[in-house]
Amino acid sequence: MATASLPGMGIRSLESTYSRLGILLIAPAVLLLIATIVYPLLYALWLSLNSVYTPTQQSTFVGLANYRDMLGSPTFWFSLWVTIVWTTSTLILQILCGVGMALLLNEKITFRSAARSLVLFPYFVSTVVAVLVWRWLFNDLYGLLNQVLLELHMVDAPVNWLGQMPNAMISIVLVGTWKYFPFVVIAVLARLQTIPLSLYEAARMDGAGPFGRFFDVTLPQLKEVLGVVILLRIIWDFKEFDLLYLMTGGGPVNQTRSVPLLVYQQAFGLNQMGAASTSAVGMMVVMGVLMAAYLYRSQRTRSHDASR
């Protein structure tokens, strides 16, 4: 009986060894996750419950007072509205431009390989370099854009693109679209190349024209990848800081100040680290609600499609 139990004991011992080895192998990744995500998140939550003076880090526990002030602050709600306008406008233009460019690059056009490489240029160029170029183009005194518009007699005087509304918001939306639409192109183009040609042939035989093939074949095939792209772009655009800060700094008169810019101003301009952490937590909650709603809707759509 003792001899018969040895193989079982050996298997259990081997499984235990492999389990310990697995824990040991993933331990560095877990520690890194805790150090870079969990600890800063918990620390931000703790700071939001305190009144903290940034230079000295002296703090006084105030409980939920920061949250009460934030919810009653018109400044926070206006910054949230600016963030939503920026995110929505940029996302819509990115999707339209990205899908359109991907459809074009999927066709057999001249210099298609070169065009596919060049379209990625805005996404990989440094944000600082891109902003410097665009600020020069938008300059109201010697900017190239105003010079072209004046030469074409489309305007009678130079346009102040970054110093007044709504020009400032339009400008940063256009720059954001130019900078980030190549990400949509990459994702959509990769999916387009995997769509079976037999689907298009069947659609042609049924008498579908170009628009019919797009809405009946291409768009349904792109639904999954567009869902992922939209979710990622919402997250990244909602928390965008460097492009907005370098383009307008939140001006004119804080009309383009998003929540990330508000957090920066509170933390390092007003030296109110506690209030800044509270605004950051509020932004995180809004993003969490948006992502949860989107994922819930996507799950219901997949369940509905699977039951059909």
DSSP-assigned letters across all residues of 4-40 = HHHHHHHHHHHHHHHHHHHHHHHHHHHHHHIIIIIHH
Does this model's pTM top 0.75? My answer is yes
Question: What's the pLDDT at 2?
Answer: 45
For 53, the enclosing helix (H) or strand (E) is strand 50-53
- The CA distance from 166 to 49, in Å, is 37
* CA–CA–CA angle 30, 35, 37 (5° rounding): 90
pLDDT of residue 84: 93
The pLDDT value given to residue 172? 95
Are 255 and 165 in contact, with CB atoms under 8 Å apart? yes
Cα 23 → chain centroid: 33
pLDDT at 3: 46
CA 294/CA 235 separation, integer angstroms: 12
Local structure of 162: helix, strand or coil: coil
DSSP bridge partners of 272: 53
Select from 3.30.70.20, 3.30.300.30, 3.30.930.10, 1.10.3720.10 the CATH code of 73-242: 1.10.3720.10
Burial of 121 (0-12, 13-18, 19+ CB in 10 A): exposed
* Tokens linked to 247: 């383009």
- Rounded Cα gap, residues 51 and 60, in angstroms: 5
**Between β-strands 58-61 and 50-53, what pairing exists: parallel, antiparallel or unpaired?**
antiparallel
- In tens, the pLDDT along 147-179 reads 999 988 888 888 899 989 899 999 999 999 999
Domain residue spans in the chain? 38-72+272-308, 73-242
pLDDT of residue 7: 53
Q: Residue 278's closest CA among 17, 68, 22?
A: 68
pLDDT less than 50: residues of the chain: 1-6
Match 């259990």 to its residue by tokens. 12
In this predicted structure, what is the pLDDT of residue 208?
Answer: 80
Q: What is the pLDDT of residue 304?
A: 61
